[in-house]
Amino acid sequence: MNISRAHWFRTPLAALALSLALTASLANAQKLLTEEGGGQALVALQRMQSNSTAPTPHNADGTPDLSGLWGPDKNFMYDITSALKPGETLPLQEWALKASKGHMSNEDPNVRCRPSGIPRMTPYPWKIVQTPKLVVFLYEGGPHGYRQIFLDRKEHSKDLDPTYYGESIGHWEGQTLVVDTIGFNDIFWFDGAGHPHTEKLHIVEHIRRPNMGHLEVDVTIDDPGAYTKTFTVYGHMNQLLNTEIMEYICDENNVDLPHIVGKDSRK
């Protein structure tokens, strides 16, 4: 069988290992990057990363072309606190702080193969397919799903059904794609640490491709139901070369869920 990268981390074993990291401190999570487990997925992807500083590709209409295969940002996986500017803290409301401390790995919607929402990522490739009126994100992980960003409308729909990815409308401001999303459900967590949100969530992303190999995604999170003020987390992703999205069906043979047991190491 000719597989371009190690297959085993496609299995729920990776999800299990990732989940074991979720109740650990950030320091422990960093250690996992070089150990068996979900960390190996990231290590494998790092080998396929591009660090190219060649100029940003552009479309005929002058807009940057964001299309391509991208890796995840680990700061959007374990704990989004690590994606804040240094010295900042997450402005959680009291109930949200309590809720996040109470969240256990075996309740994590990701472990049940639900979509990750925004900005959470899984340790697998994702692809941007850009057309003039619609940008699509394809995810290898989660339920192997997609997200749509509409560039051909200026206003959100009224009375949206709450969904994992909400309704995203985007427009270009110079070289930056600005994406405004509302209509989220409150099911997904922002990260493995379990930071919650409500249906009041309103996210604005600023997406830039400063050069060929790099993507920058600033995610401004505005949720007056769970946070005391608006805050921004910063993501950096690398292009992936010479590989392609594999079919990873999280729901298939998900035998790890009953094995996620044990004490909360934070207590």
Partner 1 sequence: MNAAIILLLLAPSAMFAQWLDYPTAGVPRAADGKPNLKAPAPRTSDGKPDFTGTWEPEKNKPCPPEGCDDIQTPWEFANIGWSVEGGLPFQPWALELKKARQARYSLDDPATQCLPVGIMKTHTAPLMKKVVQTPGLLLILSERNAMYRQIFTDGRPLSVDPQPSWNGYSTGKWEGETLVVQSNGFREDGWLDRGGTPATDALKMTERFRRVNFGRMEIDVTVDDPKAYTKPWTVHLVQTLALDTDLLDYICAENEKDRAHMNSK
Q: Which residues bind partner 1 (CB under 8 A)?
A: 1-3, 7, 67, 112-115, 129-131, 133-134, 136, 138, 143-146, 148, 150, 152-153, 157, 159-161, 163-165, 167, 245-247, 249, 251-252
Contact 146, 115 (CB under 8 A): no
**Would strands 146-150 and 167-173 be described as parallel, antiparallel, or unpaired?**
parallel
Residue 163 Cβ vs partner 1, minimum distance, rounded to whole Å: 4
Residue 247 Cβ vs partner 1, minimum distance, rounded to whole Å: 4
Amino acid at 187: I
Residue 171 Cβ vs partner 1, minimum distance, rounded to whole Å: 15
Q: Which is nearer to partner 1, 91 or 145 (CB)?
A: 145
Q: Which is nearer to partner 1, 113 or 240 (CB)?
A: 113
Residue 214 Cβ vs partner 1, minimum distance, rounded to whole Å: 22
Measured distance CA(162)–CA(155) in Å, rounded = 17
Measured distance CA(196)–CA(174) in Å, rounded = 33
Contact 155, 140 (CB under 8 A): no
Q: Which is nearer to partner 1, 52 or 148 (CB)?
A: 148
Residue 264 CA, distance from chain mean position: 24
- C-alpha distance from residue 111 to each of 69, 150, 172 (Å): 24, 29, 35
Q: Which is nearer to partner 1, 25 or 163 (CB)?
A: 163
Q: Which is nearer to partner 1, 78 or 164 (CB)?
A: 164
